[in-house]
Amino acid sequence: MGRKRPGKDPEQATGGTGPVAGTYPIDTGTCELVPDSFNPDGWILMINGVHSSHIDLADPRHLDFEYMRWIAALVESRWRPDASLRALHLGAAACSLARYLAAVYPGARQVAVELDGRLAELVRGWFDLPRAPLLRLRVGEARAVTETLHEDSRDLVIRDVFAGAKTPVPLTTAEFTAHAARVLAPGGMYVVNCGDTPDLRGARAEAATICASFAYTAAIADPAMLKGRRYGNIILAGSDTPFAQDPALPRTLLKGAVPAHLWDDAKVRSFAAGSRPLHDGSGEEPPARQELSTRRL
């Protein structure tokens, strides 16, 4: 999982010189910054050989990874642009979604938690990220940080954390999910990026875990993924209020470069039926991450 670099706050890190292509040592291995061959303003961040983030320096509203577009559509279906959104991002990388939400919700206050202190310093120097208090980068382990947060202190919690090929086990369990639910204010939303194989065993277990903690759930993925025909992403979400109150959301998801379906609470619970929630100490492994970014479709 890497070590935290002492004495460095990414909010105060020197830099600001802009991105420079190359491979850089970070606390958890290496990261590589690659120019986007399709977009002169685009950059791809790879961490330990895995595609992690895409940034468009000219347009923060441009999300190149389809699963991020699905998350954005889900968030925008619930909150108007004038909302004072309080968002917690577990897994920061290049802060693509945080940067997007800052553009859509000017009044938002966001915290992005990143385990790798050196990566946080580099990202703050490379990209045009909003400054604190609009966006604060916090170096730490995602579960440990979440457990310190006050009840009802966030409107949105997004979990997009991978260590190599997998989401760390402590971030997939019912015990952690209960902490995420605790920090959400009424009407808040917990969203996870679940990468899985065609057997969908891991996604079903994660869905069962979220169903056990929240009164209402939703899922978003493309039909082939939902039918177990390919590797990919499923976005799972939980809340104390129903999803899909905005009738435009299903249409928005279908109009994307990768058309996606929205499952309501009943379908998610049916999908999770027969799977048990994950628990601390159970020894069960979360789903493995694949090459999940679908680009240039």
- As a whole number of angstroms, the distance between CA 227 and CA 235 comes to 14
- Residue 106: φ, ψ to 5°: -60, -25
Burial class (CB in 10 A: 0-12, 13-18, 19+), 23: exposed
Average pLDDT over residues 41-59: 96
- On whether residue 215 sits in a domain, the answer given is yes
Cα separation, 146 vs 81, whole angstroms: 26
| Joined tokens for residue 183 | 């920090």
pLDDT at 3: 40
The pLDDT confidence band at residue 79, using thresholds 50, 70 and 90, is: very high
Q: What is the pLDDT of residue 221?
A: 95
**What CATH number does residue 215 fall under?**
3.40.50.150
Average pLDDT on 210-223 reads: 96
Cα angle 81-82-83, degrees, rounded to a multiple of 5: 90
Does residue 132 sit within a domain?
Answer: yes
Q: Which helix (H) or strand (E) holds 232?
A: strand 232-239
Whether the per-residue pLDDT at 165 is higher than 90: the answer is no
**Domain annotation covers residue 7:** no
Per the CB < 8 A criterion, the answer to whether 206 and 278 are in contact is yes
Establish if 282 belongs to a structural domain: no
Does some domain include residue 291? no
Question: Between 201-213 and 265-272, two packed helices, what is the crossing angle to 10 degrees?
Answer: 120
19 part of a folded domain = no
Report yes or no on 99 lying in a domain: yes
**pLDDT recorded at residue 73:** 96
- Give the percent of the chain with pLDDT over 90: 78
186 located within any domain: yes
Q: What is the DSSP letter of 131?
A: P
Domain membership of residue 147 as a residue range: 61-272
Average pLDDT, the chain: 90
Pair of tokens at residue 290: 């694949």
**Total domain count, the chain:** 1
